Amino acid sequence: MGLAGTLLRSRAVAALASPHGVDRYLELVNPMWAAHDVRAQVVGVVQETGGDHPVATLTLQPTSTWRGHRAGQYVQVGVEVDGARRTTRCFSISSAASLPGEPFTITVRAQDDLPGRPSVSRFLATRATPGLTVHLSQAEGDFTLPGSPATPHGAAPVLMISGGSGITPLMSQLRTLLRDGYDGHAGRRVTFLHYARTPADQIFADELRFVDRADNGVDVHLVHDQAGGEPFSVESLERLVPDFRETDAWVCGPAGLVEKVREAYGDSPRLRIEFFKPATIGTPSGATEGDVAFARSGASAANTGETLLAQAEALGLRPESGCRMGICFSCTSRKTSGTVRNVVTGVESSAPDEDVQICVSQPVGDCVVDL
């Protein structure tokens, strides 16, 4: 927006637009005008797979306030589903790294709707059409390549392992390497290993087969474990990549797969991991005792042992949330009393008046939250 953008971001204009802010007025005139906020319009939709949980890739044209992304990052996407309050969820970006203002893609698998809480992913994967406006955060996350292209002689090979929807950030990384002139024969070899249930569930199948056929030093292995493919194990990995412990590895997928890869690598700093569902630690004794109260709304119930977010939603509350796995911090709320346990790390905290991520915080006994 040039000079106009500088003016719109000035303190004088902010004071004139108070208390709503200038972006509220700009959005009324044109959703793609923004001074601070980030929005985008859907400009393309491609169905990747069908079935009960279809997958679609959405191309988003962001406002000029978008600062671009690095391969492997995610973005928070906010939409209003059926007139309900805007709901935000996190989605990995599947396209190659982008510059400020450039279009990018997210690839979304539809999850089931829950009572009183329509699924954002199902809305985007099955109902989004060109022209839909969504709200965005800036790109976030550090599950990224150190640089591109990764071609210097003597550098360690690269291993990318994914399962299910966990393929999306790794596709962003692979696409970035290939776009930027990667040549495995001149430097780092890349092995791309993906696990899906069946060929029908395989995302990006045609593109990955094309990459595998190209003479560029990238080896692609697609394993369909419900169609005769061998599930992940250390032994199977050693057959595919005998020197895997000497590779720089990135893994993203369900907790079971990620944990097996982590066991294979031990404490190696070469391994970078990202879950698309959190790995949780078993429920301790006392976690299902007592009552949970949400002070501001006046709602309370017997503690079920689920996370505070799940228990709040079961009572009909709609707290802000995003990733639902302890990454984005959008669900952070004030716990005024009681003990909570982080279901990812197992760490307990009994400090009064502390901010907790309710999506991964499990009450242990009585607990009061300011919601």
pLDDT, tens digit (0-9, with 9 covering 90-100), for 227-273: 888 999 999 999 999 999 999 999 999 989 999 999 999 989 999 99
Q: Are 279 and 360 in contact (CB under 8 A)?
A: no
What is the rounded distance in angstroms from the CA atom of residue 29 to the CA atom of residue 204?
Answer: 38
Residues pairing with 75 in the sheet:
91
The per-residue pLDDT for range 310-347, each reduced to its tens digit, is: 999 889 888 888 778 887 788 999 999 999 999 888 89
pTM, rounded to two decimals: 0.79
d(CA 174, CA 168): 10
- The DSSP code sequence of 246-277 is GSEEEEEE-HHHHHHHHHHHTT-TTEEEEESS
* 149 pLDDT more than 70: no
Which of 7-21, 180-194, 263-277 has the weakest average pLDDT? 7-21
Q: How far apart are CA 110 and CA 261, in angstroms?
A: 26
pLDDT of amino acid 340: 94
Residue 283 banded pLDDT, cuts 50, 70, 90: low
Mean of per-residue pLDDT scores for the chain:
86
Q: Is the pLDDT of residue 15 over 50?
A: no
Query: Which residue is associated with the tokens 């199902």?
Result: 122
Mean pLDDT on 168-180:
94
Residue 188 scores a pLDDT above 60 = yes
Helical ranges in 214-334 per DSSP H: 234-240, 255-265, 308-314
Q: Using pLDDT thresholds of 50, 70 and 90, give the confidence band for residue 199.
A: very high
Domains of the chain: 38-136 (2.40.30.10), 158-274 (3.40.50.80), 291-369 (3.10.20.30)
d(CA 262, CA 273): 8
Provide the 3-class DSSP secondary structure of residue 119: coil
- What are the phi and psi torsion angles at 243 (to 5°)? -100, 30
Let me know: does 253 contact 276? Beta carbons within 8 Å: yes
